[in-house]
Structure 1
Amino acid sequence: MDSRSFSLPIVVASGALMLFHTSATYALNGTELTGYGVQAAGMGGASIALPQDSVAAANNPAGMALVGNRADLGLQFVLNSLNIDYAVPGNSLHSGIVAPVPEGGFNIVVSPDVTVGMSLFGMGLAANYKQPALPGLGLANAKSSLQMAVVAPTVTYRVTQNSYVGVSAQIAYELFEAQGVVAPSSDGSLSALPNHGTRSAFGYGGQLGWLWTPSDIVTVGATFASKINTSALSGYGNDLLNYNAGKLEAPMHFGAGIAVRPLQSLTLSADYLHLNWRSTALGDAATFNWKNQDIFRFGAAYDINSRWTVRAGASLANCVIGSADTAPNFLSGGVNSKAVTVGASYRFANHVELNAAYEYDLPVGIVGTGRSRGFNLETRTSVVSVGVGIPF
C-alpha cells in the first residue's frame, strides 16, 4: 500500500460523518435498519456470518477480519408513509418521509492475524405530519426526529487458523426533537407538552464478535452488543422523557448466524438476532411500551460471472408495538418488521464495486385498543440502497 491507500479511509470516514450530521433517519426494526451495508441489505440483512464490506462491524466486529483492505460508502433511502386516525372521528394524519441513512467504513490488514478499521452507521426514526395532532387547541405541527450516528473503531485477531474474534467500541452522537406532543393532564383533559427544539446527546457502548470457518464452504458467527448508553437530552427529561431522565438509548442485542457455499457461485446465509428494547426508554411499559424483537434473516447471493452478483433475502420479526400502544407511538411509527429484498453488485476491472439493493416491507395496519382506542395506524415502507466499495 502507498500513502494514497492510507488517505482513502480518511476521506471516506470524513464524508460519512458529514452526511450523518445532516441527515434524518427512519428505521424498520424499531430504530434499526433491516441490514447494515448495501450488500447485506440485499440479503435481508443476513450478515453475522457473512461479512462483505467494511460496514461489517455494525453486524459482527469479527467480520472485519475477512473483508481485506477496503473502504466503503453507501446511502440507504428509506421511503415511509404513515397514516393514523388520531383520537377523534375524522381526524386523520399523514406523514410522508424520504430519509437518507448514510453508512461507510474502512479496514486495513495490519498482519496475517490482525486488522484495524472503522464502521460508521446510523439508526433512528422520524415522522412529520405537517399539521397539529388535534385541531382547535393551538398546537404546533406534530413531528419528531431521532438520529443516532455510531462510529465503531474495530480490531480483530485470528485466534486459531480458522477462527477470529473482534471488538468494537461504539461512540454515538444523538439528535432528538419532538413537537406537537399531546398528553393527558391531571384533570383528564389534553394539553401540549413544551417544544424543546433539537437537543443533542453523546453515547457509548461496545460490541464483541466471533467467526469460525470450519471448512471452505461453511462460516459460523456470533455477536453481542451492549446497550448504547446516552447522556440526557436537555429539557425532555422534564416531561416527555421524565421517566428515564431524558435519555434515549440503543438496545442491547445478540445474535448468531451461518453462511454456506454449496456451489462456488452460490452463498446462502441465515441469522437470528434479538433486540432487547425493554432495557431502553422506548421499552417503558407506561409510555411507548416497545416489545423485545426476535428477528430471523435469510439471504442468498449468486455470482453470475466475475463482474455481476445478484442477491435476494427476507427478514421476519415481531412488531415492536401492540394494539394498545398506537397512541403513544404516533410520532414514531417504526412498526414495519417483515421485509423482502433484492440486490446486485457490479465490479469494474479495477475491482471497484457498485452495489444496490431494494427492500419492500409488508404493509402494517393496527387498530388501537384499550388506552389507544380510536388511534388506528397504517404504514408502508420501502428502502432503496446504493453504495461503492473500493479495495486497496
Structure 2
Amino acid sequence: MKKTIFSTLIIITLPFLNQSSFATTGYFMHGYGVKAQGNAGTAIAQFNDSLTIANNPAGLSWVGTRLDTGLTLFSPDRSAEIQGNLAGANGNYDGNAREYFLLPEFGFNKKINDTVDLGIAIYGNGGMNTGYDHNPFTAFGNTGKAGVNITQVFISPAVAWRFSENQSIGIATNILYQEFEAKGLSAFGAFSSTPNHISNQGKDSSTGIGIKLGWAGQISDRLSLGATYSSKIKADKFGQYKGLFADSGNFDVPENYGIGANFQFTPKLNLAADISRINFSDIDSVGNSFDINSLFSGNGFGSKQGPGFGWKDINIYRLGLGYQASSKLSLRAGYSHNDQPINKDQTFLNILAPAVIQDHISIGGTWNIDPSQEINFAYTYGIKKTVHGQQSIPVAFGGGEANIEMSQHLFGLAYGRKF
C-alpha cells in the first residue's frame, strides 16, 4: 500500500518537481496559494480558498465547495563573494545558472454537510536551487559546475469538522516526496565518512508522512482566530548523498507552528496578522554547524554530528491588509519579516544555500468573473539581503570571508471556482 501511494504521488508531483525551486522564508514558501501570497502569507486566521489546507486545515469549514489551481513565476537572484582567501578562492560568483521557475498549486474542497468538509491540496513546502557555472570551491580541489537542488512537494488530504457554530478543527496528512542533487563538491569527500556519496550522484529521492493540525474560531462578527501545528516528518534518507548530509543522508522536514488573527474593521477593510515558527535546528543536516575542529576530530560529512548548514530556528511575523474595492474587485497587500537563519560564521557552506532573505512585500487581488468564478493575482518582492561572513572560512581552507546574497520576484496567477 505504501509503495502504491508513493508511486501515485511521484506521477502527480512530476510537474512540481520539474519546475520547482523556491526559498523565501528559510526554504519554506512565504505564502501557500496565490491569495495568501498577496497578503505576504498571512492566512492562519484568514481563510481564502482550498489552499488553506497548507496554512490551517480548519479553514476548510469556512470556504465552501470549491476548486483552486494556479501558477507562480519565480525568479530568484543568488550570489556569493569570497574575500581575503589565501587558497585563491577570491572572486564574485553568480549562482543563477537557472533564472526562472514555474510553481504550480492545486486545491479542492467538498462540503459534505453542515459540519464536515473534505479537501486535498498539492503544493511545495520548500526548496533550494543554486547553480554556479564558475565553481566557488575550485580552489579547494573541486571541478565542474557547483550547486544543489532540493525540492519538497506535498499531497495533503484533509478533513475539517465544524463542531460548533463558530469553531472548527482540521487535520491534514502531509505526504512528502522530495528530491535532491549536488554537483561540484567531490573534493570535499576527503572530509566525508562516505567519500563516493558526497556529490555528482544524480537525483536522489525520499518520502515521508506527517500531520498538520488546525483550529479556527469566529470569535465575533469582526474577529476570527486560528492556530496550526505541523509535525516533524521523518523522511527516508538520501542514500546517494549519505556522505554529504549529516546522519547518513538524513533530510527531514522540521516541525513548524503558528497562530493568527483577522479583524474586520469595516465591511470593506480587514487586517490579518500571523506569527509562526520553524524549528530548523532540529534537523541535523540543516542545523549542525560547519565546525572545522569537529570536522578534523572525526565528525566528517555524513556522520551523525557532521557538518550541516548551521541554520537557526526562526520566527516569522506577517501582516496583511484586504480591501473590497468593488463588487468585482478585492485588493490585498502585506509585509512579512523573519529572523535570519544563517549566522555570519556559517556563510561558507551556505554559498550553496544562500536563503538569507528576511523581508517580503506583497500586493495582490481577486477579480470576480461571476458569482462562481474568480481570477487571483499576486506579486511579491523578497527584498535583497546580504550576510557578510565573519570568521566564516576556516584557516585550513585559506581563511577569509564568504558573503552571500539573495533577492526574489514572484508573480502568481490562479483560478478559483465555487460550486
- Length-normalised TM-score, structure 2: 0.85
Counterpart of 1:210? 215
1:224 is aligned to 2:229: yes
CA contact (8 A) 2:197 2:240 kept: no
Counterpart of 1:302? 323
Q: CA deviation at 1:218?
A: 0.9
Greater strand fraction, Structure 1 or Structure 2: 1
**1:65 maps to which of 46, 51, 61:** 61
CA contact (8 A) 1:36 1:121 kept: yes
Q: CA deviation at 1:375?
A: 0.9
Counterpart of 1:3? none
Worse-superposed segment, 375-384 or 43-52: 375-384
Q: CA deviation at 1:26?
A: 1.6
CA contact (8 A) 1:35 1:44 kept: yes
Q: CA deviation at 1:184?
A: 7.9
1:347 is aligned to 2:363: no
Counterpart of 1:159? 163
CA contact (8 A) 2:392 2:402 kept: no
Query: What are the Cα deviations for residues 31-72 of structure 1, in whole angstroms up to 9, with x where unaligned?
Result: 111110111100011100001011101111101111110111
1:326 is aligned to 2:343: no
- Length-normalised TM-score, structure 1: 0.91
1:140 is aligned to 2:144: yes
Counterpart of 1:369? 390
Q: CA deviation at 1:339?
A: 0.8
CA distance in 2, matches of 1:127, 1:83: 9
CA distance in 2, matches of 1:257, 1:192: 43
Q: CA deviation at 1:268?
A: 0.9
Q: CA deviation at 1:247?
A: 1.9
CA distance in 2, matches of 1:15, 1:138: 35
Q: CA deviation at 1:92?
A: 1.9
* Paired residues, number: 376
Counterpart of 1:81? 77
- CA distance change for structure 1 residues 192 and 213 in 2, over 3 Å: closer, same or farther? closer
**1:115 maps to which of 112, 117, 128:** 117
CA contact (8 A) 1:106 1:119 kept: yes
Query: What are the Cα deviations for residues 123-147 of structure 1, in whole angstroms up to 9, with x where unaligned?
Result: 2111111232344746120121101
Paired residue type of 1:290: W
CA contact (8 A) 1:16 1:104 kept: no
Paired residue type of 2:230: A
Q: CA deviation at 1:371?
A: 3.3
CA distance in 2, matches of 1:250, 1:220: 26
SS at match of 1:229: coil
- CA distance change for structure 1 residues 118 and 125 in 2, over 3 Å: closer, same or farther? same
CA contact (8 A) 1:89 1:374 kept: no
**2:44 maps to which of 39, 42, 48:** 48
CA contact (8 A) 1:16 1:73 kept: no
Q: CA deviation at 1:155?
A: 0.3
What aligned pairs does 1:119-268 form with structure 2 within 5 A after superposition?
119-122=121-124, 123-135=126-138, 137=141, 139-181=143-185, 183=188, 185=190, 193-237=198-242, 239-241=243-245, 243-268=246-271
- CA distance change for structure 1 residues 186 and 89 in 2, over 3 Å: closer, same or farther? closer
CA distance in 2, matches of 1:56, 1:93: 39
- CA distance change for structure 1 residues 142 and 185 in 2, over 3 Å: closer, same or farther? same
CA distance in 2, matches of 1:139, 1:263: 61
SS at match of 1:329: helix
CA distance in 1, matches of 2:230, 2:41: 17
CA distance in 2, matches of 1:315, 1:220: 19
Paired residue type of 1:302: Y
Counterpart of 1:292? 313
**1:276 maps to which of 271, 275, 279:** 279
Q: Give the gaps of 5 or more residues in structure 2.
A: 1-8, 291-307, 394-399
- CA distance change for structure 1 residues 44 and 138 in 2, over 3 Å: closer, same or farther? closer
CA distance in 2, matches of 1:362, 1:85: 19
Paired residue type of 2:409: S
CA distance in 2, matches of 1:50, 1:193: 43
- CA distance change for structure 1 residues 220 and 186 in 2, over 3 Å: closer, same or farther? closer
Paired residue type of 1:211: A
Q: CA deviation at 1:193?
A: 4.3
Counterpart of 2:293? none
CA contact (8 A) 1:180 1:192 kept: no
Q: Give the gaps of 5 or more residues in structure 1.
A: 1-12
- CA distance change for structure 1 residues 192 and 151 in 2, over 3 Å: closer, same or farther? closer
Paired residue type of 2:268: S
CA RMSD for the aligned pairs?
Answer: 2.2
Counterpart of 1:6? none
Paired residue type of 1:346: W
Query: What are the Cα deviations for residues 118-172 of structure 1, in whole angstroms up to 9, with x where unaligned?
Result: 1111021111112323447461201211011101100000111110000011001
